[in-house]
Every structure is written in structure tokens, then in C-alpha cells.
Amino acid sequence: MQAITFLPPTPALFFQDTSSRLLRLSPVDLVIIILYFIAVLSIGFYLKKYTKTGEDFFLAGREMTAWVAGLSFLAANLGSLELMGWAGNAYQYGILAAHWYWVGAIPAMVFLAIVMIPFYYISKTHSVPGYLKLRFGEPARALSAVSFGLMTVLMSGINMYAMAVVLKVVLGWDIYFSIWVSSITVALYVVLGGLLSAIFNEVLQFVLIWLGALLISIIGLIEAGGWSGMVARIHTNFPTQDFTHLWSTLGSFQDNPMGINWVGIVFGLGAVISMGYWTTDFLVVQRVISAKDLRSAKLAPLIGAAFKMCVPFIVILPGLLGLAMLDTPGHHFLVAGDVATEALAHGQVLHSYDEVLPIMLARYCGPGLMGLGITALIAGFMSGMAGNVSAFATVWTYDIYRAMFRKNASDAHYVTMGRWCTIGGVLVSIGTAYLALHSHSIMDYVQELFSFFIAPLFGTVLLGMLWKRATGPGGFWGLLAGTLSAIGMWAWVKNVPSAVQYIALSADAKPMAENMFRALWSAMTCVLVTVVVSLLTKPKPDSELVGLVYGCTEIPSEGHLPLWQRPIFWAGVVMGVFVILQIIFW
């Protein structure tokens, strides 16, 4: 294999001086960023008068159109880790990173829209733990609410930390100043307008993310000579490695830079992690169940899926363009995060993979466009954080506080609790952000959290919706067993690294592959235990499962609608485009 070395940054690549910060903002850039902060806060203050009841604060009055719910559904997921992390991963692993946008998202979003949304919506639940309460009883709700709350504040803190690091590296802003200013802004607008304000701002942020990031890809492709020119440059730079094929290198762990095979991608990512995240993570599901009717709720994830398929154009493509335009034959311009940190300790400034997006921004965008690009990054961070905080406030207030501490308070009391909980959630997130300051590998940490909590939850919710024989004890013990098995597998590999050959089926598996396989086994453990315990315990009568389970629930027919208004038609269109993309980039 060709040796790859790393070059120090070349100041001539950018338009600014040689200081350690990547970008220097002009006055017009600062005005653009300040206008953004004014806009999001103004929306929060404006919507406060429309946020009076619990339904308003926690579910935006269940009045969202399919478009608003769909864009918000996607924007809540476009956090800092998505934008910066996956652009960096695309630079590191090539187009394989697009799996997290396509097979790792689209089938799950379609499945959510067509199969699962009817049960969430018809049951009138306010949250995913709330659905588990209706289906499996209080113990399953309590377990999922506590694990979701824990995961959400950890994710929120990591998101916040990632943003602060970017602002420090890119703009030279103090890391603590960035954390506090951004988190206070998010806390303010969510406290004022609840989910309504979060969703409105997420739609605004979604538009800004696209308009701010799109230009990088457009100008980058012009410079590279189009897609074929970019691919040719990458092959010239790294003739022995394949960075531009999606599936053809997944035959074995050794054939691709990610150290994963197709089994891990299809079953671990596509069937478990992705299905679990997009169908049971309340952060995203909350946006969909805020829709004004069932058809809008079904269309929302499909609209989200259509845009999700396009996100690689603004996230993955800049990473690939970095491989083509920043690198030289056999030499990577950017380095791994720990290498950059170590170099800095010796006084040498190197830039890490995760900085590829702002580096490309600096390469192509002058005054004004630079401010728009930075605003896009900040908008991404805020939408992700607001999503976590608003979901946390709902689950804490309804599924923990009301269920365990105060059952019969007034609606106004719960709204007040939701507002205080938003502030509390932000403060705890700041605490976890400070913890993340000492973490070495954030992305691995995030995938570990998903495998602990999301993968088994998917098994529980899926069986709850599709198998009426599943019982309350089965749901609870299955969820507990799945979660504990994931933590157990993680601890095993942590203490005995060679155990990865049993978890991921190969001693060559990299951490990402281990995460995918751990998720797969924990979901299977959950399903197995749920089935066994359910068969040993007494089932609920069908009359108690109406609106909750397939076979006991009447789903409103859409047969009277023209074809183009039916969600199932658009689901087919989305899946068709998805398949075509896999073939094009095979």
C-alpha cells in the first residue's frame, strides 16, 4: 500500500494570514451572524404569546403542516456532529460516509412514515416513552424515559462542545464564551416558545444551512472539473485506495478505509441503528407527531427523506473535494484529531479531518459568503441542540415528573415545569460539554450511546406495534436485557480488546464496525428476551390494544385520495430514487 504522509498547512491555500485560526471575519460577516442571533431570539419572543397550554409548549399545538414538520424533523438531526463530523469522515473514509445518509436513513424514514406513524399518531401519545406506557405499562416507560433523558443531555452537551471547538478553531473565539452564548440563546428561545419556537427556528436554520453550505460544493465542483474531474484527481492522489465507491469495496473488512463489511452496514447500520434512531428517538419523532393530521404526519418523514438524500451534496461532497483539491499525490493535507492535538503541544499547527468543511469555506467564500457559511454552521449546532433540549423537556415533564412525582397538577404547572426543565437541561448539557472537553473520540462516544439505548428500544417498539402477543413484562425485560447486553459487550471489548473478533466477527474490525455489530446483537437480545418472556406471561386482551398494535387498529384509508396525494406513492418515489443512487455510486 502506498505510504501516506501529512503535510503542514500551506497559508497560500487560504486568503488570510498564517495565524492558527482558519478564518478572519469581515464586518459584513459579523453583521450577518448578529442578524441571525437577533432573528432566532425574535422568533422566540414573538411565539411566546402563542404558547400557553401543554399541547402548545410540548407538541406545538399539533398544528404543523407536513412541510414544516418534515423540514424540522430533518433539521433537528442536522447538528454539529452531522455537518462537521461527516464532512470530516468523508475526507477520511471517502464516499462510504454517505451510507449514513442513504442506507442509514432513507429506508428507516420510509418505514417510520408508512408503518409506525399511524400507531404513534392514533394513540395520541405525547412521546415515545408515552407510547411504551400505553403498550407495555409503567416499568417500560420509566426505563425508556430515564435512558432517553440521559442520552439526550449527553448528546446535547457533545453537540455544544463540538460547536465551541469549531468556533475556537475556525474563528479563534474562546471555547467557554461560545458554549455559554450559544446555549443561552437556545435556552431562551425554547423556554419562550417551547416546541413551537424550536420548530420554527429549525425550519429557518434548515434553509440557512443549505444556502450557506451549498456554494462550497458548487464552486468546488467547478474548480475540480466536475464529478469526473474530482474522481480523477482523487485517484491520482491515492491510486491504491478507493474513496469513490459506495458498495463495491464492502466485500471484506480489509478492502475499505472504514474497516467494515456489507453485513455491518446493511444489518448493523441499516436495520438496527438507523431504524432505531429514525423511528424511536423522540428527538425526531416529536417533530412528526406535532403534525396537524395523520396524512401530514406520514408525509413529514417522506419530505425529510427526500431532503436527506440530498444532504451528502453539502456534507459528503466537501470532504471528497478536500481529498481532490487539498491533497497531493500520496499526501493527506489534514490529519487525525489526536495527531493535530499532539502537534499543537509541540507548537506546530496542523488541521484535523473535522475541519475540512470550514477549510473549504475559507477556500471559496469571500466577505459576506463567509458570514453566511459560518451562520450555517452555527444554525446546524443550534437546531441540533434545541431538538435535544425540547425533547428532553417533554420526556422529563410528562414521563418522569408527572408519572413519578406529581400526577394531577394543572396544565399550567406542567408548562412551567417544562420551561424550568429546559433551563435545567441546558445547564446539565453545559456540564456534559465540559466533560467532553476531556474526551478523545467524540464520534465513537456518540455511536456507543446509540448502541446502548437506541438499538434495544427499536426492538421493543417494533414488537409492541407489530406483535399483539408481546406483553408488558416482555417489553420491560427485553428492553432491559438489550441495554445491559450492549453495555456488557462494550465493557468486554474495553477490558479485552481482542474480544472485538467475537463482537464484530473479525479481528480487523474498526471501532465503527464494532458499534454497528454491538447494536445488532443488543437489538436481537432485546427481541429474543421479549419474545420468550411474552410467551411465558399473560397477554393483554385485544380490546386494550386498540390504537396501539397492528391487527387491532383501524388505519384510516387513503383510497379516496388522488395517487399523488397518498403517502405510499411518495414513499415509492423516495425508495426508487434511493435505489438509483446506490446503483450510480456502486
Measured CA to CA, the distance from residue 249 to residue 62 in angstroms comes to: 45
Q: Which stretch binds other proteins (CB under 8 A): 34-42, 332-340, 511-519, 576-584?
A: 34-42
Instruction: Tell me how far, at minimum, the Cβ of 9 lies from other proteins, in Å.
Output: 15
* Binder among 145, 321, 340, 372 for other proteins (CB under 8 A): 372
Instruction: Tell me how far, at minimum, the Cβ of 434 lies from other proteins, in Å.
Output: 32
Rank residues 215 and 349 by Cβ distance to other proteins and give the closer one. Answer: 215
Instruction: Tell me how far, at minimum, the Cβ of 327 lies from other proteins, in Å.
Output: 15
- Taking CB under 8 A as the rule, does residue 41 contact other proteins? no
Residues 321-340 touching other proteins, rule: CB under 8 A, are none
Alpha helices in 94-174 (DSSP H): 106-111, 117-122, 128-136, 138-171
Residues 193-212 touching other proteins, rule: CB under 8 A, are 200, 203-204, 207-208, 211
- Taking CB under 8 A as the rule, does residue 431 contact other proteins? no
- Taking CB under 8 A as the rule, does residue 46 contact other proteins? yes
Rank residues 46 and 420 by Cβ distance to other proteins and give the closer one. Answer: 46
* Binder among 2, 10, 16, 19 for other proteins (CB under 8 A): 16
CB 389 within 8 A of CB 186: yes
Instruction: Tell me how far, at minimum, the Cβ of 219 lies from other proteins, in Å.
Output: 6
**511-536 and 472-495 helices cross at what angle (nearest 10)?**
150
N- to C-terminal Cα distance for the chain? Answer: 23
- Taking CB under 8 A as the rule, does residue 31 contact other proteins? yes
Taking CB under 8 A as the rule, which mask of x and - marks residues 348-367 in contact with other proteins?
A: --------------xxxxxx
For 6, phi and psi rounded to 5 degrees? Answer: -115, 135
Instruction: Tell me how far, at minimum, the Cβ of 202 lies from other proteins, in Å.
Output: 9
- Cα R_g (the chain), whole angstroms: 23
**# chain residues binding other proteins, by CB under 8 A:** 40
Rank residues 143 and 216 by Cβ distance to other proteins and give the closer one. Answer: 216
| Residue carrying the nine cell digits 459560518 | 374
- Taking CB under 8 A as the rule, does residue 293 contact other proteins? no
* Binder among 25, 43, 160, 213 for other proteins (CB under 8 A): 43
* Dihedral sign computed on CA atoms, order 98, 70, 41, 373: positive
Closest CA to 297 of 525, 490, 558, 81: 558
Secondary structure of residue 52 in the 3-state scheme: coil
- Taking CB under 8 A as the rule, does residue 39 contact other proteins? yes
The H helix count followed by the E strand count for the chain is 26, 2
* Binder among 41, 150, 171, 219 for other proteins (CB under 8 A): 219
Rank residues 97 and 209 by Cβ distance to other proteins and give the closer one. Answer: 209
Taking residue 556's Cβ as centre, other Cβ atoms within 10 Å add up to 11
**175-224 and 316-325 helices cross at what angle (nearest 10)?**
70
Instruction: Tell me how far, at minimum, the Cβ of 37 lies from other proteins, in Å.
Output: 11
* Binder among 138, 223, 255, 508 for other proteins (CB under 8 A): 223
- Taking CB under 8 A as the rule, does residue 292 contact other proteins? yes
Bridge partner list, 352: 335
* Binder among 6, 7, 15, 524 for other proteins (CB under 8 A): 15
Instruction: Tell me how far, at minimum, the Cβ of 369 lies from other proteins, in Å.
Output: 5
Side chain identity at residue 42, one-letter code = S
Rank residues 11 and 576 by Cβ distance to other proteins and give the closer one. Answer: 11
Instruction: Tell me how far, at minimum, the Cβ of 367 lies from other proteins, in Å.
Output: 5
Rank residues 292 and 331 by Cβ distance to other proteins and give the closer one. Answer: 292
Rank residues 212 and 459 by Cβ distance to other proteins and give the closer one. Answer: 212
Rank residues 39 and 487 by Cβ distance to other proteins and give the closer one. Answer: 39
Instruction: Tell me how far, at minimum, the Cβ of 321 lies from other proteins, in Å.
Output: 11
Secondary structure of residue 58 in the 3-state scheme: helix
| Cell numbers at 308, concatenated | 436527506
CB 148 within 8 A of CB 453: yes
Closest CA to 272 of 393, 452, 140, 421: 452
Rank residues 43 and 503 by Cβ distance to other proteins and give the closer one. Answer: 43
Instruction: Tell me how far, at minimum, the Cβ of 220 lies from other proteins, in Å.
Output: 9
Side chain identity at residue 295, one-letter code = R
* Binder among 23, 25, 32, 167 for other proteins (CB under 8 A): 32
* Binder among 8, 225, 368, 497 for other proteins (CB under 8 A): 368
Measured CA to CA, the distance from residue 43 to residue 524 in angstroms comes to: 44
For 22, phi and psi rounded to 5 degrees? Answer: -80, -40
Taking CB under 8 A as the rule, which mask of x and - marks residues 376-415 in contact with other proteins?
A: ----------------------------------------
Measured CA to CA, the distance from residue 155 to residue 428 in angstroms comes to: 11
Taking residue 191's Cβ as centre, other Cβ atoms within 10 Å add up to 22
Measured CA to CA, the distance from residue 532 to residue 523 in angstroms comes to: 14
Residues 52-71 touching other proteins, rule: CB under 8 A, are 60-61, 63-65, 68
Query: DSSP code of 540?
Result: P
Would strands 331-332 and 5-6 be described as parallel, antiparallel, or unpaired? Answer: parallel
Instruction: Tell me how far, at minimum, the Cβ of 79 lies from other proteins, in Å.
Output: 20
CB 69 within 8 A of CB 199: yes
Closest CA to 334 of 240, 261, 237, 250: 237
Rank residues 223 and 444 by Cβ distance to other proteins and give the closer one. Answer: 223
The burial of 229, by beta-carbon neighbours within 10 Å (0-12 exposed, 13-18 middle, 19 or more buried), is given as middle
Measured CA to CA, the distance from residue 470 to residue 472 in angstroms comes to: 7
In this structure, the dihedral spanned by the alpha carbons of residues 163, 168, 169 and 170, taken in order and rounded to 10 degrees, is 80
Rank residues 63 and 138 by Cβ distance to other proteins and give the closer one. Answer: 63
Q: Which stretch binds other proteins (CB under 8 A): 42-50, 279-287, 397-405, 441-449?
A: 42-50
Q: Interface with other proteins by CB under 8 A: which residues?
A: 15-16, 26, 28, 31-32, 35-36, 39, 42-43, 46, 50, 60-61, 63-65, 68, 200, 203-204, 207-208, 211, 215, 219, 222-223, 292, 362-369, 371-372
